Amino acid sequence: MQHPEHDVMHTEDSVSFSCHINVSSGWEYLWYKDGTPLAESENSHNISSVVTANTGSYSCQVKRGTNEVFQSDQSQAVRLNVNERPQAHIILLTGWSEVFATDSLVLKCEVRESKDMWNYTWFKEGKQIDLLHLPEKHTVTPQNDPNQSLYTCYGVRNGRPSYSKRSDSFKTKSLREYK
């Protein structure tokens, strides 16, 4: 059995498989991916942060002792599909030449590979920027960024996947030096 039972998982999700047998106890559990043995011997196989290479068919088998007479058939296979988590990107909406005149710049966060509706969380120097809502655009001014700073963002939503990969860092220029 797979938990959670999503048809498609996304990179960084966690997933676990459990194997049950209704006959007594003392069994050793063998796990297989696409028919190849895995190193696990517990009644569950856990992957804390899946990658696309984890895609495959998982099955289990139980045995007791070294005598193959006490070995079950392999279970039915459970198919795990792992897709890359979509990537967020930062785009500069104002050109640098416009910044000299307006003394601010507008950054936009977007998840290009997805047609879903996203909200966005912004970070400045790795710390989350507290905004009342989760806008796709963020305005940088000399008042809120007197120095050159690194900005990142990622998308969040109610569906699956519930969040995107974080964007690459965007470094602002020092706005005050152009006054």
Residue 12 Ramachandran class (φ > 0 left, ψ -120 to 50 alpha, else beta): left
Place of tokens 């006490």: 70
Alpha carbon 52 to its chain's center: 11
* Spatial distance between the Cα atoms of 82 and 67, rounded to a whole number of angstroms: 37
**Together in a domain, 66 and 103:** no
Among candidate residues 23, 51, 83, the one where a domain is terminated = 83
Looking at the fold, whether 138 and 75 belong to one and the same domain comes out as no
Q: Is 40 in the same domain as 53?
A: yes
Whether residue 99 sits in one domain with residue 76: no
Query: Do 63 and 95 fall into the same domain?
Result: no
Of the given ranges (18-22, 44-48, 84-88, 156-160), which has the lowest mean pLDDT?
A: 18-22
Tens-digit pLDDT profile for residues 65-120: 765 567 788 889 999 999 999 999 999 998 877 777 677 889 999 999 888 899 99
* pLDDT surpassing 60 at residue 178: no
**pLDDT at 134 exceeding the cut of 50:** yes
135: CATH: 2.60.40.10
H/E segment holding residue 51:
none
One domain for residues 33 and 67: yes
| pLDDT at residue 179 greater than cutoff 60 | no
pLDDT value at 58 more than 80: yes
Q: DSSP labels for 91-129?
A: EE-S-HHHHHHHS-EEEEEEETT--S--EEEEEETTEEP
Task: Answer yes or no: do 65 and 100 share one domain.
Answer: no
Q: What is the mean pLDDT of residues 144-148?
A: 77
Number of domains in the chain: 2
Better-predicted residue by pLDDT, 164 or 71: 164
pLDDT computed for residue 174 by the predictor: 67
19/64 same-domain check? yes
**Band of the pLDDT at 162, cuts 50, 70, 90?**
very high
Range of the domain at 104: 88-178
